Chains A and B, each alone.
Chain A
Amino acid sequence: MSATMALTGVRMRLALRNRAFVFFSVVMPIGFLFGFFLVFGRGGPDAITYLLGLVLALSVMGSFWGLSIQLVSFREQGVLRRFRLTPIGPGPLLASSIFSNYMLTLPTILVEVVAARWLFGMKNWGNIWSVIVLLTIGSAAFSALGLIVASVTNSMQETQVINNLLWSVFFFLSGATIPLPVFPEWIQHIAFYLPATYLVAGLERALVLHANLVAVSADLLALTASVVVAFEVSRRLFRWEPEQKVSPRAKAWVIVAVIPFLLLGAWESRTNRGVTEMQQIFHTIAPHGLSFTSPGK
């Protein structure tokens, strides 16, 4: 455990010394916040609460990005090789990625909440405990996803391609930028096969509807499953050196990682729970000033 903590500390410092990290993890999310609030949030405090959920979700989701790039560059440069000579296994290295990422996301989240409250006059805090737990588990889930990306890609270019792909899907399809109820209903159902959608949906429920931990338990379950499975898969796929090949058996684990989401998506599709709730929330907020128009459902 002490190795994990020491690694966490050093990796936080390394991240803060990296300009690209500071831009993507601090400047960009806060930019989103002002963009969203100024463009869509004119309608009043409730709209701000709703938008804060989206901004927080985006900040947490972005974490897989920098993390996968850092790990892949460590492997490319031979830094991981030097770690391999020591008695620590992949566990502390991977766990420290998740912890350092979480710690580094906290200040951004704090700035976003403070800005929403004091600059944009947000009144409704939602259920703060649900929000905190969702953000914590959400951060771990997206970090673990970044670890899988780092394990299956071999070069920075490959990592960037996969990251871009994942990011666009999460960005547009999870409801974090474009509210899901704006889309045709079949797309809304597809969205519930993505881990990102559970984070957005959970945060919306916690913030707007004051949902307590029990009420967001399905979303928490989805995200927790994603942390556990993704961490285990990344541990199995972990490579110290670019020359090491991922065995076909290990690759099969990536498919295992997808199973919980297929099950959850199928369940959501049957019960219609998530889709209905997101529509409800959206239609409560939209008349108060969100600039989106819904397809009249």
Chain B
Amino acid sequence: MSEVVIQVTNLQKHYGSVQAVRGVSFEVGEGEVFGLLGPNGAGKTSTVEILEGLRHADGGTVKVCGLDPERDSNRLKQQIGAVLQQTSLPDKIRVEEAIRLFAGFYDRRADTDALLDRFQLGEKRRAFYHQLSGGQKQRLALAMALVNDPRVLFLDEPTAGLDPQVRREIYAIIEELRQEKKTILITTHYIEEAERLCDRVAIVDHGQVIAHGTPKELKNRSEGTTRIEVRLGQPEADGTLRNLDAVADIHQFDGTYVLHSTSVPSTIVALVKHLEAEGNELQGLEIATPSLEDVFIELTGRRLRE
């Protein structure tokens, strides 16, 4: 790995009796896009906010650009940019006022007009913040994270709650930043986001990293199996579907059965015969190549829900 820019070792964070982060460790190299993938409440935001210097760590060590986010807070903040899970600005601030104001807080300043143009906010520069759409607000949040031309970017759920069209726009922007070799730490609960944008991913659940590697490495863990999702008219007794041909593994979520099969044709033929014999109805069938979602299901027995 190139020079390590973010280093997290055995990080701990609790809120009262709730242990939000339990011994998280990972490293991110210069120019790398690293994803923390996990469901809501997994401890991703707590981890990122400790790295940004917004929260106090209860244990472990963290270093960003060689600095301690709590002790060297001001020096570190000069070098990082961040998009919070929810960015709020005063309703009556104009787009150009906001970006210029924030640029003024840093020693190194990017060209704010160029940033607004790059994020397609040039025409909106005189608009008030409350007049912007969700996507425009998020683009402004990204632009504001770049006003100091940061070495490291923290993006906490940058596309959560945005419609697919806007989400794709944000992906394109992040891909551009990736080409510019910015070091980026991104948290997400969208599988496709992690697969598409990240060089490496850590899967986080209940405050712990349960797997990490490149998306490809992680997917290779379930190599040889294909996911078949089945919705049935009536529920099946435990274990009956597991006994079908070529089924390696099975999980059930709210009436949907997720089968991991080593041979799709064998499993499907067996499934159809079985249902016919039982008089059960096949309401839906979906076949998907292995994804990070499968890795997550294998590891936790749960689904990564939006």
Say whether, besides A3-B104, A86-B105, A87-B78, A78 and B97 are in contact (CB < 8 Å). no
Within 8 A of A (CB), among B54-95: 54, 74, 77-78, 80, 82, 84, 86-90, 92-93
* Contact residues in A for B82 (Cβ distance below 8 Å): 85
Q: Residue B26 at the A interface, CB < 8 A?
A: no
B interface: dominant SS: loop
* Contact residues in B for A10 (Cβ distance below 8 Å): 93, 97, 101
In the bound complex, CA of A82 to CA of B144 (Å): 10
* B129 and chain A: residue at smallest CB distance: A79
Q: Residue B102 at the A interface, CB < 8 A?
A: yes
Of A14, A17, A79, A88, which contacts B105 at CB under 8 A? A88
In the bound complex, CA of A79 to CA of B93 (Å): 11
Within 8 A of B (CB), among A35-91: 74, 77-79, 81-82, 84-89
Contact digits for A1-31, partner B, Cβ 8 Å, 1 yes 0 no: 0110011001001100110000000000000
Say whether, besides A78-B86, A81-B84, A89 and B101 are in contact (CB < 8 Å). no
* Contact residues in A for B84 (Cβ distance below 8 Å): 78, 81-82, 85
Q: Are A14 and B104 in contact (CB under 8 A)?
A: no
Q: Are B92 and A82 in contact (CB under 8 A)?
A: no
* Contact residues in A for B74 (Cβ distance below 8 Å): 87, 89
Q: Are A14 and B88 in contact (CB under 8 A)?
A: no
A interface: dominant SS: helix
* Contact residues in B for A86 (Cβ distance below 8 Å): 77, 102, 105-106
Q: Are A85 and B52 in contact (CB under 8 A)?
A: yes
CB distance from B56 to the nearest CB of A (A): 10
Say whether, besides A10-B93, A14-B92, A86-B77, A81 and B54 are in contact (CB < 8 Å). yes
CB distance from B250 to the nearest CB of A (A): 42
In the bound complex, CA of A86 to CA of B97 (Å): 16
Task: Name which of A6, A77, A86, A89 has the most chain B CB atoms within 10 A of its CB.
Answer: A86
Q: Are B54 and A79 in contact (CB under 8 A)?
A: no
In the bound complex, CA of A84 to CA of B101 (Å): 14
CB distance from A41 to the nearest CB of B (A): 37
Say whether, besides A81-B84, A82-B84, A87-B74, A74 and B90 are in contact (CB < 8 Å). yes
In the bound complex, CA of A117 to CA of B187 (Å): 64
* Contact residues in B for A82 (Cβ distance below 8 Å): 84, 87-89, 144
In the bound complex, CA of A77 to CA of B90 (Å): 8
Q: Are A14 and B93 in contact (CB under 8 A)?
A: yes
In the bound complex, CA of A282 to CA of B84 (Å): 58
CB distance from A5 to the nearest CB of B (A): 9
CB distance from A224 to the nearest CB of B (A): 29
* A2 and chain B: residue at smallest CB distance: B104
Contact digits for B132-171, partner A, Cβ 8 Å, 1 yes 0 no: 0000000000001000000000000000000000000000
* Contact residues in B for A87 (Cβ distance below 8 Å): 74, 77-78, 105-106
Of A2, A3, A7, A84, which contacts B54 at CB under 8 A? A84
CB distance from B45 to the nearest CB of A (A): 12
In the bound complex, CA of A86 to CA of B144 (Å): 10
In the bound complex, CA of A98 to CA of B123 (Å): 34
Say whether, besides A6-B101, A10-B97, A88-B105, A17 and B92 are in contact (CB < 8 Å). yes
In the bound complex, CA of A142 to CA of B150 (Å): 39
In the bound complex, CA of A196 to CA of B50 (Å): 43
In the bound complex, CA of A88 to CA of B82 (Å): 15
In the bound complex, CA of A13 to CA of B90 (Å): 11
CB distance from B93 to the nearest CB of A (A): 6
* Contact residues in B for A79 (Cβ distance below 8 Å): 88-90
* Contact residues in A for B86 (Cβ distance below 8 Å): 78
> B-contacting residues of A (Cβ < 8 Å)?
2-3, 6-7, 10, 13-14, 17-18, 74, 77-79, 81-82, 84-89
6 contacts between A and B (CB under 8 A): A3-B105, A10-B101, A14-B93, A79-B88, A86-B106, A87-B77
State the 3 A-B residue pairs at the shortest beta-carbon distance, nearest first. A78-B88, A17-B92, A87-B77
Given A14-B93, A85-B84: 8 more A-B contacts, CB < 8 Å:
A6-B100, A6-B104, A10-B97, A14-B92, A79-B90, A81-B88, A85-B82, A87-B106
